[in-house]
Amino acid sequence: MASLRGRLALPVIAAPMFIVSGIELVVACCEAGVLGTFPTLNARSTDELGRWLERIAGRLAEFDRAHPQAPAAPFGVNLIMRSERLQADLEQVVAHQVPVVIPSVGNPAPVVERVHAYGGLVFADVATVHHARRAASAGLDGLILLCAGAGGNTGWLNPFAFVAAVREFYAGPLVVAGSIANGRAVRAVETLGADYAYVGSRFIPTRESSASDKYRELMLRSDADDVILTTAITGIPSNMLRGSLEDAGFFAGQTPRKNPFYFDRTYTTRSAWKDVWSAGHAVGESKAVASVQEVVGELLREYRAAR
């Protein structure tokens, strides 16, 4: 693990995001010095995934040849354990020896041995102390604590409480996820006793992300009050942007809701993530569309100042 930290410019993992993270975002993150990741399902098929992995590895190797003094950070993939593609995608991941693998939505056990066999690292996300306790003995290389305010399918625990509770029984690497969008917050994660920040939403309005222009624009004009916690889109609690819910016909004929919770399940016709967009509570920290290098540069300056 010390070796992973040593390969990053700052302790940040760019979190995997459905639809949003593609080859360009991953490569740009790694070149800027943070660990870039993507969900394997963002590649349309397992064959396509193989081509993505080849392109990413090839471009990072090229970057390393041009910058031998400051090589790129490693990259990782997110495997959805309940996906029908799991076995086939895992074979591609093993064949390409992906440095970091992040299993989610299900028991990570089937992945651990395969990835360790070639020297890769496995981090898994957990949202409860109970699951963290179980995962702590699963031979993982680190736990990702999914906290309140995260983009996507969010956690609900407060990070102060969650890190403290898990540190009582787990001494390994901890990653904190949820509304970390500036360098002071990255530093705060270390102060809490954790090791890495898992940063998702801050990378959505970057030039290299695969988010649509409308999604980026909505990010820039939203703040924390525009993040609505709802089960209406995916069936489990997710943080969604008010503007996209309104455009998809939610709240029609109603006065605009001030309430940040919306637990109605009436409307499920629009496609989650594609028509209805997600972001964490730190959405307001994105002020303009910027390159990944600019975003990471800002995080690094703020992180250093906070140290």
Is there a contact between 92 and 39 (Cβ–Cβ < 8 Å)?
no
Q: Applying CB under 6 A, does 151 fall inside the site for ligand FMN? A: yes
Maximum CA extent, the chain: 60
Q: Applying CB under 6 A, does 76 fall inside the site for ligand FMN? A: no
Q: In this complex, which beta carbon is closest to ligand FMN, that of residue 31 or of residue 239?
A: 239
Q: Token digits for 71?
A: 């090589």
Cβ neighbours of residue 42 closer than 8 Å, sequence gap 6 or more: 18, 19, 21, 22, 210
Q: Applying CB under 6 A, does 182 fall inside the site for ligand FMN? A: no
Strands (DSSP E) along the chain, which ranges?
Answer: 12-14, 36-39, 75-80, 100-104, 121-126, 142-146, 152-153, 174-177, 196-199, 227-230, 238-241, 261-262
Q: Applying CB under 6 A, does 280 fall inside the site for ligand FMN? A: yes
Q: Applying CB under 6 A, does 104 fall inside the site for ligand FMN? A: yes
Pick one of 12, 15, 35, 56: the residue that binds ligand FMN (CB under 6 A): 15
Q: Following DSSP, what letter does each residue of 145-191 receive, concatenated?
A: EE-TT-SEE---S-HHHHHHHHHTT--S-EEEESS--SHHHHHHHHH
Q: Applying CB under 6 A, does 183 fall inside the site for ligand FMN? A: no
DSSP three-state, residue 144? strand
Binding mask 20-59 for ligand FMN (x = CB under 6 A): x------------------x--------------------
d(CA 238, CA 180): 17
Q: In this complex, which beta carbon is closest to ligand FMN, that of residue 150 or of residue 189?
A: 150
Q: Applying CB under 6 A, does 156 fall inside the site for ligand FMN? A: no
Q: Applying CB under 6 A, does 150 fall inside the site for ligand FMN? A: yes
Q: Applying CB under 6 A, does 90 fall inside the site for ligand FMN? A: no
Closest to 144 in 3D by CA, of 164, 122, 161: 122
Binding mask 189-208 for ligand FMN (x = CB under 6 A): ---------xxxx-------
Q: Applying CB under 6 A, does 152 fall inside the site for ligand FMN? A: yes
What's the closest the beta carbon of residue 14 comes to ligand FMN, in angstroms? 9
Binding site for ligand FMN (CB under 6 A): 15-18, 20, 39, 78, 104, 146, 150-152, 177-180, 198-201, 273, 278-280, 282
